[in-house]
Amino acid sequence: MDTKTRATLSRTRPRAFTLVELLVVIAIIGLLVALLLPAVNAAREAARKIQCTNNLKNISLAMHNYHSARNVFPPAIVVRSGAASDGDKGQFQQGRRLFANWAILLLPYIEEQSLYDSFTLNADGGVQISDPINSGPRGTELAVMLCPSDQGLGSRMSLSLGNWARGNYGINGGQYLPILWDREGVGDDPFAQGIAPLGEGINIKKITDGTTKTLMFGELRVGLGDRDRRGVWAMGMVGSSIHWRHASNQVNAPNSCQRGDDDVKDSQFIIQDVDEQTLLSNCMYPDAGYSEGAQSVVRSVHPGGVNVAMCDGSVRFISDFVEAGSQGAGVNPDPKVFRTWQRLNVATDSYVIEGQW
């Protein structure tokens, strides 16, 4: 090979990147990833939020189909015949009478007839959903009951009852203390009525505030440990599949983050199983003092608020900063503190809901 040919080959050989150039390229790629990642995550969350919205629409449609068939909505939970007069009071709150809840009753209306048939339902005969005979069906995971944004999905609730699948939607029960459900007049307080009493359902005509302005379902966060009852679709307890006192008794807004906002049964086990920082950072530190299954918070993982279904079947996104009065203990009907969040969750208060929400 002559000198001229060698010179030509030398000129055409590709030049490698210098170290500085390589570092610049890596830095540019890293910057692009950093800029695009939030947008990608936001798009993914938007898709998850849409799926959550569709779930609530499907469940709400099932509620109306149930009403068309039976002329009432399903109750929050079935109770034994005569339970209000034979000393069975308080059993619902303590989880000692775990009979069929609204979600089980809706199964035939969400194309889950075979799953419904696999349950053994006999409240008057004393057969409970927590009995071993119902272990299989109650442990069945249902996509329509799960919001994909909640990363706690997949962890089952076990406790001593074993094998309960999770869920993210709670029905709007009421604002009074559940243990009082059987007492004369308690269930008639117009400022404490939800849409799903205990034991028997209501006709849509009883929602006198209007179906477009009364909440039917609100989101739930699933429990953070396998002994945490929160977010369990087949369990008829407060915080599991039922919202109670979620707009009263110092729980004043969605995603309320005060320590002890969730009063759920066996909260001592939750505190034992999950470290304090995790409970606090997730706004899910339960009430360690009572542990009575009497109060829950409408809560989600969506940034800025929660999805809720209204009684007309529409789904709304309610901001964490929705106008909410400071209720203090119990229910305070003073219109100065019984504000938008309270009015949305009560079916018979007769107050006007003002402005945007």
Record the tokens describing residue 108, joined without a space: 């035939």
The percentage of the chain sitting over the pLDDT mark of 70, rounded to a whole number, equals 87
Q: Tell me the pLDDT band of 8, cut-offs 50, 70 and 90.
A: low
Residues forming a β-bridge with 174: 193, 244
pLDDT tens digit sequence for 172-203: 998 877 766 555 455 678 999 999 988 889 99
In whole angstroms, give the CA distance from residue 339 to residue 130. Answer: 38
In whole angstroms, give the CA distance from residue 236 to residue 327. Answer: 26
pLDDT tens digit sequence for 218-270: 999 999 999 999 999 999 999 999 999 998 887 879 999 999 899 888 899 99
More reliable by pLDDT, 29 or 177 = 29
- DSSP-derived 3-state class of residue 138: helix
Taking 80 as the threshold, does the pLDDT of residue 36 lie above it? Answer: no
Residues forming a β-bridge with 198: 77
pLDDT value of position 196: 94
Length of the chain: 357
Type of residue found at 183? R
pLDDT value of position 11: 55
CA atoms within 13 A on the CB side of 97: 23
Q: Quick check: 192 and 202 in contact, CB under 8 A?
A: no
Burial of 254 (C-beta count, 10 Å sphere; 0-12/13-18/19+): buried
Per-residue pLDDT averaged across 64-85, rounded?
87
In whole angstroms, give the CA distance from residue 56 to residue 308. Answer: 7
With CA atoms as reference, report the closest residue to 219 among 51, 75, 104. Answer: 51
Across 40-54, 80-94, 173-187, the highest mean pLDDT is recorded for 40-54
Q: Quick check: 147 and 168 in contact, CB under 8 A?
A: yes
Q: Tell me the pLDDT band of 279, cut-offs 50, 70 and 90.
A: very high
The percentage of the chain sitting over the pLDDT mark of 90, rounded to a whole number, equals 59
Q: Which helix (H) or strand (E) holds 267?
A: helix 267-273
Per-residue pLDDT averaged across 204-231, rounded?
96
- DSSP-derived 3-state class of residue 146: coil
In whole angstroms, give the CA distance from residue 68 to residue 81. Answer: 24
pTM of the model: 0.87
- DSSP-derived 3-state class of residue 250: coil
Q: Kindly report which listed range (61-70, 90-99, 203-212) carries the lowest average pLDDT score.
A: 90-99
Alpha helix locations (H) across 71-209?
A: 91-94, 102-106, 113-118, 135-138
In whole angstroms, give the CA distance from residue 329 to residue 14. Answer: 78
More reliable by pLDDT, 195 or 1 = 195
Across 61-75, 80-94, 182-196, 317-331, the highest mean pLDDT is recorded for 61-75
Taking 80 as the threshold, does the pLDDT of residue 25 lie above it? Answer: yes
Across 120-124, 137-141, 148-152, the highest mean pLDDT is recorded for 137-141
In whole angstroms, give the CA distance from residue 64 to residue 61. Answer: 5
What Cα–Cα distance (Å) separates residue 302 from each residue in 134, 147, 222, 319?
A: 33, 10, 14, 10
Per-residue exposure over 61-79, b if at least 16 CB sit within 10 Å of its own CB, e if not: ebbbebbeeeeebbbbbbb
- DSSP label at 145? G
Taking 80 as the threshold, does the pLDDT of residue 15 lie above it? Answer: no
More reliable by pLDDT, 259 or 61 = 61
